[in-house]
């Protein structure tokens, strides 16, 4: 059996106002093997605990810099994964696009169309596709799940799939996509480039969807 695994994460918040984040970033990690990097992450977890940090899981926004550096070292060494991302500049998002059902449908389609394009990954060669979403992904989790279903129906051509919403602590690759999404997010949100440089070789598409928009709505 041949499987494709897709892990999706969202960085930034859904607050469309001056008090919210400037960007919202959706990121996918695709691979056909979920073993590489797993043992290394578990070893790092126990090494970190041994150093006096009682860490349950890796979370880029919360981890100490020393820990974060080591996680990025592990991820950057994986040559079998593909990262794609859509960057939303929220102040350029027309109010008509902000309802969760519309917003996630548009952004997920733009996120998945690059890897699922015939020039990306030939999905026809897989027996099944597994999609994992972080259960703690905040506002609109069910709308996010529905948007993924709609996009998969357009791209998979009848290939069976399963969508799982799990806490990120239960899957090392959910923690990896969190790290990758955070690296792309801080690049756009606060021009912090160092994390992005660690994974740049893995990023296949990085799409600022409203880059050519000229109207700011707040």
Ranges assigned E (strand) in the chain: 3-11, 23-31, 82-89, 128-134, 161-166, 203-208
Flag whether pLDDT at 160 surpasses 70.
Answer: yes
Q: Where are the domains of the chain?
A: 3-208
Quote the mean pLDDT of the chain.
94
Flag whether pLDDT at 94 surpasses 90.
Answer: yes
What would the pLDDT profile of 100-128 be if each residue is shown by its tens digit? 999 999 999 999 999 998 778 889 899 99
Model's pTM, two decimal places?
Answer: 0.95
Q: Which CATH superfamily is domain 3-208 in?
A: Ribonuclease H-like superfamily/Ribonuclease H (3.30.420.10)
For the residues 84-111, what does the mean pLDDT come to? 96
What angle in degrees, to the nearest 10, is found between the helix axes of 100-112 and 141-155? 40
User: Helix, strand, coil proportions of the chain in percent (round to 5)?
Assistant: 45, 20, 35
For the residues 191-212, what does the mean pLDDT come to? 96
């Amino acid at each position: 059996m041949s499987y494709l695994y897709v892990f999706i994460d969202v960085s930034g918040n859904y607050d469309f106002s001056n008090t919210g984040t400037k960007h919202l970033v959706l990121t996918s990690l695709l691979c056909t093997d979920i073993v590489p990097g797993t043992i290394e992450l578990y070893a790092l977890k126990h090494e970190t605990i041994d150093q006096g940090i009682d860490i349950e899981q890796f979370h880029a926004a919360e981890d100490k810099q020393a820990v974060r550096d080591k996680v990025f070292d592990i991820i950057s060494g994986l040559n079998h994964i593909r990262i794609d991302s859509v960057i939303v500049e929220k102040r350029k998002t027309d109010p008509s696009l902000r309802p969760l059902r519309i917003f996630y449908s548009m952004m997920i389609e733009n996120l998945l169309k690059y890897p699922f394009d015939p020039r990306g990954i030939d999905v026809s060669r897989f027996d099944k596709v597994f999609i994992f979403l972080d259960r703690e992904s905040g506002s609109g989790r069910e709308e996010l799940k529905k948007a993924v279903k709609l996009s998969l129906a357009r791209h998979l051509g009848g290939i069976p799939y399963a969508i799982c919403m799990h806490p990120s602590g239960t899957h090392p690759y959910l923690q990896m996509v969190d790290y990758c999404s955070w690296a792309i997010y801080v690049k756009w949100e606060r021009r912090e480039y160092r994390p992005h440089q660690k994974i740049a070789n893995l990023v296949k598409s990085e799409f600022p969807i409203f880059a050519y928009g000229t109207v700011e709505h707040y």
